[in-house]
Amino acid sequence: MKKVLILFAAALMLTTGCKKKQEFDNVIGKPDVKVEDGRFTPEIMWKLGKMGEFAVSPDGSQLVYTNTYYSISQNKGNAELYLVNLKDEGKTVRLTNTPESEFNPVWLDDNTILFARGSSIVSMKIDKQSEKVLATVESGLEGFKVSPKGDRILYISDLPVQRPADIDKLYSGLDQTTGRINEDLMYRHWDSWVDEYPHIFLAPLSAKAVDLDAAVDVIGDKPYECPMRPWGGVEQFNFSPDGTRIAYTCRAKTGKDYALSTNSDIYVYTIADGKTVNISEGIMGYDQNPVFSHDGTKIAWESMEHDGYESDKLRLMVLDFATNQRTDYTADFDYGVSGISWSDDDSQLAAVVMYRGMNEIFAFDVAAKTVRKVTKGCHDINGFTLHGNDIYANEVSMQHPSEIFHYQLDKTEQQGSQVTAINNDVLSQVRMGRTEECWIPTSDGKEMLVWLIYPYDYDSTKTYPALLFCEGGPQSMVSQFWSTRWNFEVMSGAGYFVIAPNRRGCPGFGTAWCEEISGDYGGLCMKDYMTATDYFAQNKPQIDPERIGACGASFGAYSIYWLAGHNENHRFKAFLAHNGMFNFEQQCLETEEYWFTNWDLGGPYWEKNAKTAHSYANSPHLFVDKWNTPICVVHSEFDFRIVASQGMAAYNAAKLRGLDARYLYFPDETHWVLRPQNSLLWHRNFIDWFDKYLKAPADTSEAK
């Protein structure tokens, strides 16, 4: 078995006990915010705290969480640990004050937490706030979990991809070369080059140290990912209740096979003898995020049926170890699940469900195989911790960023109570635009949920410009999300209505609705966008039909390019497209996850069948001759999903057509725009572009 090379930092600290936590000057922390006019701006958005990971103490009396504040001048954020006393009206104490972000808090006992700082695993005594560095992982640390008995730790670290010997010899003596030689696919993924892959390592844990010298690579010498890139984390593996087994997620593929398949599996590793068993063999789609029942007799996980369909329904799969029988608890439930958790007595399974425009918690009865809705509200629940009957959930809405809310498992369709309040002081100074849930008829006689967000200064006697928001994905729900990029309240604060349809292809409205987009990008989903725009232009007198623009990213930006070629009646007066697909033949060979092209477009363009013929015929570049509307194109260099040449091609086409056009390029961003200063430029450009075409000069100057 491989072992991870380690460096014990602060060796004296390891042998002489805890030291008082360090305090540093000039640490990024909570800013002082004064909102003069009640308008929510991009600058105010970046002054809000960002709730991160959280964990409840074993006795249920305390909750520890990470909170990140950002500095525009330093162009970065810093996460610190905070402690909430759940029995004392939410009294909150800041536990750390360092320039290096803390993450992954885990309770060891009611007075001890472990957490990560950089590549170190740190222990803290809560009562004294004294710290001890247990170990530093030289190859990097992405996260960890502690065994039920507290005697072992599983942590994520990276291993280097080994070049073949015949390639490696070419680099001899060339220590400054930047050249990259590849002979297989999946040499880059989403936003990074594949030079490393993650494995999970098992090491002994004591109060004094993590014994990394005795660490065992659970995956062994196989070059497979655990957790899976790019999204996987500590949720992809778990200890059994008795600490003798480890269940983990792995896609046992590399290179071309990896690029063409979503077939991952759940493996169970026995610590005593190192034997591994694949318990999801035969299931061809994603299998991920295993969770043992408390009695250890069963295991649940999220499971997709089809290989290559990354947006397939996530089924709730349960295996009974005694009978080796697998049961799909969502067989008669038309929605997918995530974030599974067992109740204390193993009689129920709770999970987050994308449900009709919101993320809610549902509970599945194991014996009766029934399901009920636990939470209710205009919100998204983006994860939760179950502690006895208490549910602590990370909750957002279009009008507020993440906070922790409390629910109870034994109740049905309940409203939550807020536990943390990291942004209340700022949000109390802001007039948010209200959100309205609208169900409108589609062109084929169905109903579609459209969120209508009002301008912050809404006056029913006035008219306002509006923006159609086109969702990415394409299989992604327009939910009650909060984002520092597509933030509807920033658009509201700039004086716009926002029309946000859950068009064909959005999950949360049944599998049939979601599946209607694959192979039909230019069909019903585009009609849904135009139907929603026309509906509000005709039925909402406060929306000026002569001042409507459209915007979107990823598939949403494809939608913009497609709409630009089908805007004969000038329904839209300005467009903005971010990191979108412009030329499908180009996209087919430039992307990295080829299973996506195979499933959604029907395959590469040279495979002549009805699905590919229809798909590639709807490539936006084929309709550039009909472009007649100003367009702003945004793209980023480190987007390997949809590479920057797509945006350049679209912008160049617009300029060659003689259109008013603008190109915003980020050489250091990915599919998203994450750096604070880049984000502020993004938002200022967004508002400026639409103000230029959708507002009168007086409106524009007032908004700025």
Q: Cβ contacts of residue 75 below 8 Å, gap of 6+?
A: 675, 676, 677
Would you state the CATH architecture of domain 431-703? 3-Layer(aba) Sandwich (3.40)
State mean pLDDT over 510-538.
97
Q: What is the pLDDT at residue 9?
A: 36
631-636 vs 661-666, strand pairing mode: parallel
Q: What is the pLDDT at residue 3?
A: 36
State mean pLDDT over 597-618.
95
CA separation for the pair 78, 75 (Å, rounded): 10
pLDDT, tens only, 131-153: 999 999 999 999 999 999 999 99
Both tokens of 389, joined, read 């009957």
CA separation for the pair 22, 20 (Å, rounded): 6
Element (H, E) at 650: helix 644-656
Which own/partner contact pairs does 623-628 have at CB distance under 8 Å and 24+ positions apart?
A: 623/562, 623/564, 623/565, 623/566, 624/565, 624/653, 624/654, 624/657, 625/657, 626/565, 626/566, 626/567, 626/568, 627/564, 627/565, 627/567, 627/653, 627/654, 627/657, 627/659, 628/567, 628/568, 628/570, 628/659
644: phi then psi, degrees, rounded to nearest 5: -65, -25
Mean of per-residue pLDDT scores for the chain: 95
Concatenated DSSP letters of 226-288:
SSPTTT--GGGEEE-TTSSEEEEEEB---HHHHHH----EEEEEETTT--EEESSTT--S-EE
19-20 vs 50-56, strand pairing mode: unpaired
CA separation for the pair 149, 214 (Å, rounded): 18
pLDDT of 373 > 70? The answer is: yes
Place of tokens 């979108």: 580
Count of beta carbons in the 10 Å neighbourhood of residue 448: 21
| Beta strands, E only, 504-626 | 543-553, 574-578
* Lowest pLDDT segment from 22-26, 186-190, 321-325, 555-559: 22-26
Active-site residue flag, 554 = yes
Instruction: Evaluate whether 286 touches 264 at the Cβ level (below 8 Å).
Output: yes
The total number of residues written for the chain in this structure: 704
Q: Which listed residue (199, 379, 635, 671) is catalytic?
A: 671
pLDDT of 335 > 60? The answer is: yes
pLDDT, tens only, 216-258: 999 999 999 999 999 999 999 999 999 999 999 999 999 999 9
Residue 632 DSSP SS3: strand
Residue 679 DSSP SS3: helix
pLDDT, tens only, 638-672: 999 999 999 999 999 999 999 999 999 999 999 99
pLDDT of 451 > 90? The answer is: yes
639: phi then psi, degrees, rounded to nearest 5: -95, 100
Q: What is the pLDDT at residue 152?
A: 98
Q: What is the pLDDT at residue 89?
A: 81
- CA distances for 33 relative to 45, 68, 80, 425, angstroms: 11, 16, 19, 8
Q: What is the pLDDT at residue 25?
A: 76
Q: Cβ contacts of residue 622 below 8 Å, gap of 6+?
A: 565
pLDDT of 4 > 70? The answer is: no
Q: What percent of the chain has pLDDT over 90?
A: 94
Both tokens of 381, joined, read 């629940």
CA separation for the pair 413, 39 (Å, rounded): 33
pLDDT, tens only, 43-96: 999 999 999 999 999 999 999 999 999 999 999 999 999 999 999 887 999 999
Residue 676 DSSP SS3: helix
pLDDT, tens only, 531-558: 999 999 999 999 999 999 999 999 999 9
User: Nearest-CA neighbor of 234 among 166, 288, 160?
Assistant: 288
Instruction: Evaluate whether 395 touches 402 at the Cβ level (below 8 Å).
Output: yes
Residue 363 DSSP SS3: strand
CA separation for the pair 475, 395 (Å, rounded): 22
CA separation for the pair 553, 639 (Å, rounded): 12
CA separation for the pair 501, 318 (Å, rounded): 34
State mean pLDDT over 213-217.
98
Q: Cβ contacts of residue 1 below 8 Å, gap of 6+?
A: 216, 217, 220, 274
Using the CB atoms, write b or e for 307-330: b if 16+ within 10 Å. bbbbbbbbbbbbbebeeeebeebb
Q: What is the pLDDT at residue 20?
A: 62
pLDDT of 702 > 60? The answer is: no
Q: Which listed residue (554, 559, 615, 619) is catalytic?
A: 554
Q: Which listed residue (217, 287, 307, 639) is catalytic?
A: 639
pLDDT tier for residue 700 given thresholds of 50, 70 and 90: low
Active-site residue flag, 566 = no
pTM for this predicted structure? 0.94
CA separation for the pair 461, 55 (Å, rounded): 48
pLDDT, tens only, 673-696: 999 999 999 999 999 999 999 997
How many Cα neighbours within 13 Å face the side chain of 262?
23
Active-site residue flag, 639 = yes
Name residue 643's amino acid.
Answer: V
CA angle 508, 512, 514 (to 5 degrees): 50
Concatenated DSSP letters of 107-140:
EEETTEEEEEETTEEEEEETTTTEEEEEEEBTT-
